[in-house]
Amino acid sequence: MALLTLGINHRTAPLELRERIAFTPERMAEAFAELRAASGASEAAILSTCNRTELYLAGDDDCAALVLRWLAGFHGLAPGELEDAVYLHRDTEAVRHMMRVASGLDSMVLGEPQILGQLKDAYALAREHEASGSFLSRLFEQTFAVAKRVRTQTAIGENPVSVAYAAVSMANHIFADMSRNKALLIGAGKTIELVARHLSEAGVKDFLVANRTLDRAQNLAEEHGGCGIVLSDIPDHLPEVDIVIASTASPLPILGKGAVERALKRRKHRPYFMVDIAVPRDIEPEVASLDDVFLYTVDDLRQVIEENVRSREGAAREAENLILAGAQEFLGQLRALDAVATLKQFRTQAERQRDQEVEKALRALRNGGDPETVIRSLGRGLTNKLLHEPSVQVRKATSEGRVEVTHWLRELHQLETQDNEVSVTSEKL
C-alpha cells in the first residue's frame, strides 16, 4: 500500500489561495466521503490550518492526479490554479514530512507546539468519519511519539515563539504601555487561548472575548478577568477596544469595513491594531484601507517570527535526526508486519500440503498398506510438494540472470556455498 501526502502551505501558496482551499468543520463529512470515492484511497485524513491544507492517503500509488482534481473541484477551483502551489510526498518522504509537521519543523514558527494538537484533531476526525484504518493509525501514533521525543529531548520549544506570540509582540511595539489598552479577541479556540495568555503576560488587563457560543467566550475571558460576548455584539463594543485579534473557523468574514468605519468615528479616529490569524480571514481585507487601522494577517507576522526562531536552529538539527530515526523505525515496523503476513501465508500453504500428504498416508494404512512403506512415501511426497514450486522459481530466476535468488535461498536455509557452483555463477556473469 502506498502512502501519499498532498497539500499546500505558507511556503508554497499565498494567504488568498490557502483560504480558498481551507476545509470548514461543516463540510468535513462531505469531504471525507467524496475524497475516498474520487481517489480510490482506502484510508484518508485531512489537516486544515491557517498555514496549510494537507491530505494524507493510503492507497494506490497513481491516485495523486485524481486527488488534485478532487481538491480543486471541491473548493470551486480549476486544477491549474493549484498545480504550482501543491507539493506531493510519497512513502518514506511522506512519513518524514508528517513527522516534521507534527514536530513544528515545517511551520512558519519553527518548533511551534500548536500544530501537534491540530494534527491530533485531524486524526480524531478521520477516525470519527471511519476514514482512517490500521495503516494511517500506525503512522499517526508513531508520528505523535516522535513529536514527543523532539519536545522532550531538544530545546525546540523552550522559548515562546508562535503566531499568537508574534501577534502580541507586534502589539507591544506599537503600544508603549499595554496595561492601558483593551483587547477584543474574536474566537475561543486554542490560538485565542494562547493570545489571551500572552496579552495578559504583556500587561493587558481589560479583555473582551467574542464567540459564537457565549459560555465558551465567558469561560476564556474570566480566566483573564474579562467578559464574554456573542459575535453579534461586536459592533456595540468595537469603539471601546484598541487591540483586535481574530482566529475562528468561520467560512466568511466576521468583522466588516462598515462596522470598523462607524467605530472609528465614535473613537475620534484613535488607531486600531488588528491581527487576523484566521484562514479563511475573519476581518475583511478592505479594512486595511482605512486610516487609523493597522491590520496584519498571518503572513505579515513572518518577519517577527523569523527574528525569534534563530535560537532554535541548533535544536532543529537535533530534531531532524530524531525524525529520521523515527521514520526508519516506522518503516521497519511496516516491513516486519509484511514479513509476518508473508510467513503466515507460507505456513498456511505448507500446512495444507502436509494435510494432503497425511490424508493420503492414512488412506493407505486403512487399506492395509505396509506402515514402513507408507511412512517413507509420506516423507518423499511431502518433500516433493514443499520443494517443487521453490525449485521451479529458483531455476527460472537463475536462467534469467537473477542469481541473487540463489544467494537468498542459501541464506534462508543456511546452506554452505559449493566452490564449483561459485565458478559456474562467475562464468555466467
Where does residue 167 fall: left (phi above 0), alpha (psi -120 to 50 degrees), or beta otherwise?
alpha
Please give the C-alpha separations between residue 334 and each of 45, 130, 311, 369, in angstroms, as whole numbers.
19, 22, 36, 49
Task: Take residue 94 and report the three cell numbers written for it.
Answer: 511522506
Pinpoint the alpha helices (H) of 294-370. Answer: 302-309, 313-366
CA angle, 51 as apex, 45 and 54 as ends, to 5°?
20
Counting Cα atoms < 13 Å in the Cβ hemisphere of 148 gives 7
**Is 50 among the residues known to form the active site?**
yes
**Which helix (DSSP H) or strand (DSSP E) does residue 208 occupy?**
strand 206-211
Q: What three-state secondary structure class fits 77?
A: coil
Residues 6+ apart with CB under 8 A from 2: 58, 59, 60, 61, 90, 91
d(CA 189, CA 76): 28
Burial (CB < 10 A; 0-12, 13-18, 19+), residue 165, is buried
Q: What three-state secondary structure class fits 328?
A: helix
d(CA 155, CA 413): 49
Instruction: Round to the nearest angstrom and report the end-to-end CA distance of the chain.
Output: 35
| Catalytic residue chosen out of the listed positions 8, 50, 210, 316 | 50
CB 188 within 8 Å of CB 207: no
Written in H, E and C, the secondary structure of 349-376 is HHHHHHHHHHHHHHHHHHCCCCHHHHHH
Task: Please report where in the chains the cell 534563530 appears, as a residue.
Answer: 310
The 8-class DSSP code of residue 111 comes to T
Beta pairing partners, 296:
275
Q: What three-state secondary structure class fits 414?
A: coil
d(CA 83, CA 64): 12
d(CA 144, CA 116): 8
Catalytic positions, written as ranges: 50
